[in-house]
Amino acid sequence: MAISTLTIHSNIHTTLQRCIDEVIILFPLSYHCSITRNGKHYNIHSGIIINNSDLYQIHDSKDLVELRIPLAWFVKRFDDISHSYFDFAQIQSPFELKSLILQNVSPKFMNKTIETSNVLKIIDFLIKEARIPLTQVYMPVVKTEKPLIRKLLAFTNQHIYENISTSDLSQHFFISQSYISILFSKHLGMNYKDYVASLRISLSLLDLTQNGLMLNEVFHKFSYTNMATFTKQFQRYLYQTPRQYTMDYRALHLKTKVTCRFFHSTMPRTTKIYRNYNLNSMKLK
């Protein structure tokens, strides 16, 4: 189970990926940042939250603050986190959140442990100000201008708990499997198999933690052929077995000191940028 990490990137560009087992908060210190989340492009000046299961990509952004908090911390802190998601646009006082995140930004905290209580304050803030409740489990809807891809995605999400494949889509929509693969690779930047596998694993985490299902119940729920297949897919994305993941979750006690690490490669420059950002933000209040 991962630790919380706070990183300030001088420059960053990522490939398209699925957010799995964490909630990510991103905001720029000096420039706007360019991010694609679930198929929609954003030029971010204030901030954005990437939820568990979201697809996202960061495009050539500078001085970008990135806080990653493990999903398990939210599950421990709130009873029904699966039926909700976090939206930065809902936050009434974004400067307060950024201050909570950046209060430990200084050279003396470089690669050091940050107190658990500081991270918990951020989690409580998000639950209070940014949480959007839902009547069903959160599953991102990927935006696309292609009607056929929208239909393929909707059908896939509806049947995500089944052993769905391009063969099922081919039979339902009367198109070839190879054409489906081409559509996903060209317009989503991810092949169909990875789209399904990563989404299923990200959703299974909530059953293993919040819902307290047994391992055999989870792999049956998601229609894996056997435990070995489930374990292999799980390890591919989380680098540990589902059994070890559940053991780590049960052993997690947030009242104890849980590690959060702060990283940056050009600390003096970043400290100066943060001070200027802080002064400018205070003038706007």
Mean pLDDT value across the chain: 88
Q: Is residue 215 part of a domain?
A: yes
What local confidence, expressed as pLDDT, does residue 103 receive?
Answer: 84
Co-location of 261 and 162 in the same domain? no
Q: Is the pLDDT of residue 44 over 70?
A: yes
Give the contacts of 279 (CB within 8 A, at least 6 positions apart): none
Co-location of 184 and 85 in the same domain? no
CA 130, CA 264: separation in Å to the nearest integer?
Answer: 27
Co-location of 230 and 122 in the same domain? no
- Kindly list the distances between the CA atom of residue 156 and the CA atoms of 144, 170, 197, 217, 224, in Å, as whole numbers in the listed order: 15, 12, 11, 21, 16
Q: Is residue 49 part of a domain?
A: yes
CA 58, CA 41: separation in Å to the nearest integer?
Answer: 10
pLDDT tier, 145 (very low <50, low <70, confident <90, very high otherwise) = very high
Q: Is residue 211 part of a domain?
A: yes
Domain of residue 70 covers 4-136+252-284
Co-location of 175 and 229 in the same domain? yes
Q: Is residue 259 part of a domain?
A: yes
Q: Is residue 16 part of a domain?
A: yes
Co-location of 166 and 190 in the same domain? yes
Least trusted range by pLDDT, from 61-75, 104-118, 166-180, 181-195? 104-118
pLDDT tier, 144 (very low <50, low <70, confident <90, very high otherwise) = very high
* 225 phi-psi bin (left φ>0, alpha ψ -120 to 50, beta other): alpha
pLDDT tier, 160 (very low <50, low <70, confident <90, very high otherwise) = very high
Co-location of 154 and 241 in the same domain? yes
Which one, of 2, 121, 126, lies nearest residue 71 by Cα? Answer: 2
Q: Is the pLDDT of residue 213 over 90?
A: no
Q: Is residue 141 part of a domain?
A: no
Q: Is residue 142 part of a domain?
A: no
H-run or E-run covering 167: helix 166-173
User: How many domains are there within the chain?
Assistant: 2
What single-letter DSSP state applies at residue 113? B
Say what the pTM is.
Answer: 0.89
CA 195, CA 167: separation in Å to the nearest integer?
Answer: 15
Pairing relationship of beta strands 4-12 and 61-70 according to DSSP bridges: antiparallel
Pairing relationship of beta strands 61-70 and 40-44 according to DSSP bridges: unpaired
- Kindly list the distances between the CA atom of residue 158 and the CA atoms of 74, 172, 175, 186, 222, in Å, as whole numbers in the listed order: 26, 13, 19, 23, 12
Co-location of 120 and 61 in the same domain? yes
pLDDT tier, 284 (very low <50, low <70, confident <90, very high otherwise) = very low
Q: Is the pLDDT of residue 279 over 50?
A: no
Co-location of 9 and 125 in the same domain? yes
pLDDT in tens, 215-229: 999 999 999 999 999
121: which 2 tokens? 């304050």
Co-location of 97 and 227 in the same domain? no
Co-location of 197 and 240 in the same domain? yes
Co-location of 68 and 94 in the same domain? yes
By the 8 A CB rule, do 64 and 33 touch? Answer: yes
**Which domain CATH number covers 271?**
2.60.120
Q: Is residue 172 part of a domain?
A: yes
Burial class (CB in 10 A: 0-12, 13-18, 19+), 250: exposed
Co-location of 8 and 129 in the same domain? yes
**Which domain CATH number covers 230?**
1.10.10.60
54: which 2 tokens? 């979201």
CA 210, CA 22: separation in Å to the nearest integer?
Answer: 14
